[in-house]
Structure 1
Amino acid sequence: MKHILHYIYVLLAGLALLPATAQGIRISSQEFSIRNDSLQIVLEMDLNDVHVNSLTAVSFTLVLQAVERQDVAMELPPVVVTGSKRFRFERRERALISGQAAAIPYLVLIDNRKTVSKNIKYRLSIPYAPWMQKARLLLRQELKDCCDLQLLGVDTLARVPVLDTGSQENKPLPAGKRMATVDRGDSAHAVPCQAREQGCAPVSAPVKPVRKPRDTESLVLYFDYPIGKDDIHPDLKNNRYEIDKIDRLFAPLRREHFVSVRSIRICGYSSPDGNYGNNERLAGARSRFFSIYLRSVYGIPRGLVEVSSVAEDWEGLVDLLDRDQPPYREAALRVISRYGVFNGREKYLMELQAGIPYKDMLKHFFPRLRRIEVIVRYEDDKTEEE
């Protein structure tokens, strides 16, 4: 399901009187669509006429706002065009306040003589919410210099079309939210997006099922696989232990024919090491084969199962670094925040401190990121009969 919007041209007249001048920016809105429980947004931004001096930066922040309630809105990660000195100042400021939460841009473009193109493909997946059925897309423009942040204006770009969520394939889940995924293209200085709400359980030790009325139960599973295989082999290494955890949760549900279950969500994760394409295939295949195993063993109706995957779980790695506090934590987090997935992030991590932190992460962190998470969501009328 795709919804094509018209071509949009935004004139930033206010910039002409400021140190950061622009003749205008051009935004081609290509697609709004729903896939599973996520709203997919695809835009093309032409910022070639936006220029700044070395000490200033202009940020372009997209805001999704409910039409009927202006207090209901979601800010998306901004695109920033910055001068080289301003970029260094901002980087130093982030390092000094690393303990505080800060908005991370979708993309930072340094405007200098080496800048070849400012054409940006803005592709973002965000958790779907019902108010997005009737929403507008705004563009907020702000100028930052040495001592001030100035609002240049807020423009309405488009009205998000009312999305048809009637089909099973594209219908948003009634509850729970997927991790956002971002395609950052080839531009330099891409950094991670944090406009997300995470529905899968956080990285941690396996979660013991706890039955709660009108609530959920979750499992975190760590399977071993034969080389070149993606299906479940129950008797391989420690897989039997993981299978027993599954059985303790699903055997009682099978006896009651899953009448109390609203949905079963399966999310497969790969660690960040290695080729992105291979990791994406691996996470998708293993979550898909696990769903086949689960349905065949326990007779789960196909319509109850929702499958998703995360190619490289960088957010999980950040969580582990924050929790375990290895001596290289701050240095590794700086690399992760500074470089995009497709702009050498793993390479810079491998080069950090002669490769010692990366080897430690390979041994102690990455294996904990390769997992399958299962969330069982029950109907509202579920009671504690068991």
Structure 2
Amino acid sequence: MKMKAIYILLILLAPALAMAQYKGKINVTPLKLEQKGDSLYISIDINMQDVRVDTRRSVELIPVLTAPEMEKALPAVLLKGKSNYHIWQRKLTLMNRKERLGYLQDAPYTVAKGFKSKDERRITYNKVIPFEAWMKDARLDIRKDVCGCGNPPSILEVSQLAQVQLEKIVVPYTVTPHLAYITPEVEAVKRREMSGEAFLDFVVGKTDILPDYMNNPGELQKITNMMAALRNDPAVTVKGIVVSGYASPEGTLKMNQTLSEGRAKALTDYLVPKFDYPENLYTIAFGGENWAGLLEKVEASDMKHREEVIRTLTTVPAEINYRTNNSRKKSLMQLAAGVPYRFMLKEYFPHLRKAVCKVDYEVRGFNAEEAREVIKTQPQNLSLNEMYMAANTYEAGSPEFTGVFETAARMYPSDATANVNAASAALARGDTVSAGHYLEKVETPSPEYDNTMGVLMLLRDDYRQAEEYLTRAAASGSPSASRNLEELYLKLDNIRQLREQDN
């Protein structure tokens, strides 16, 4: 009798204990329980938006098909408190490949945050399972384990889905992509570099700068503007300034080096008194004979003998070959009786003599709110992680959200993380063309890359490739890929139904 009294007391206390685990109301609305051919289609709307789960607990919602003598539990929806959610994330991260594959075989339908978060906690539960004969008498219950600690689950009241009447006309299914973004690594020290070129005019044979001579005012202004912008930025600490002089190829290498270093020193002497940087931050260097600049000008021109000049510039070494007594310069001078060389000497060589000022500097770190403002005017000062934080201050999928990821890809054009995230942002607004361009730049695949490629192929109606990418991503532990596979199979089944309907 005493045990019976305890049991009755526990039953009476159960609702109160459940309420202690979470606050708010879980609203479950049946949308579909429909057999078509050899499949059973299940759709439920679960609204947990106002629910707050105790930080150490979780709420498990288990859809169960129930018939008089048979039942079948479907993958659960988990709503986790803050500590419980982070513990689950860590466990998932630490799983090896074998453990992850085992987890995926019995994984929940989805895991949602049961605490204050921008994440959507209104879930449309879509499931397609093989239809069995006993299911014709089944109903759909939602059972809940209110603490996730092994106590017997209680039944959450819900209408019987078998009574729902649905329109029988099959309409094209619209895929809902589930996109995954990569959190970039934190950049401990943000080292940056900024360069400016000045094509200065010097009196023949001289290395001193005349600020008012020919084009010098405008050329010097380019360098001083760059230096002033860095000096006036409180987030910047300059670590070094390298001033390099480049020469046109005529004359001897020794003479070119002497002139170029002299001109680089002249530019340094011009800059030192204008900015309050110590002189020991400056380094003077000889950049070399500017063959690259010459090739660029020839390729952009329609000069006579253009192809022969390009071939000489790209195949003949600049250094003298003492065995053959030949060099790039000598070959150019002998080409077509020297006509193209004399033309380049007059038209192109003066523009090859330049000074390059390269500033090496560090930028302090920014929090999310600061990064949100900095990206508007000085995106080069942000790391990818700071841009990611800034993006997440906006609503997912909004123009501002996608704009940040596009800026990140523009500032870090060869970074895989930047391009995968930009591709996901493009797909969020249905832009498959931009997404394809971003993904073409990724050389190192990842689960997020495979998921994004899978979504791209799915939206391009390339279902075979979509399945390959999404299956690989799901096997690597991507929950988004698993949900996209569900979307793929729903789409394929919808196509089959539309064909049957048309026939």
TM-score band, normalised by shorter chain: 0.3 to 0.5
Q: TM-score, normalised by structure 1?
A: 0.40
> Greater Rg, structure 1 or structure 2?
2
Q: TM-score, normalised by structure 2?
A: 0.32
More helix by share: 2
More strand by share: 1
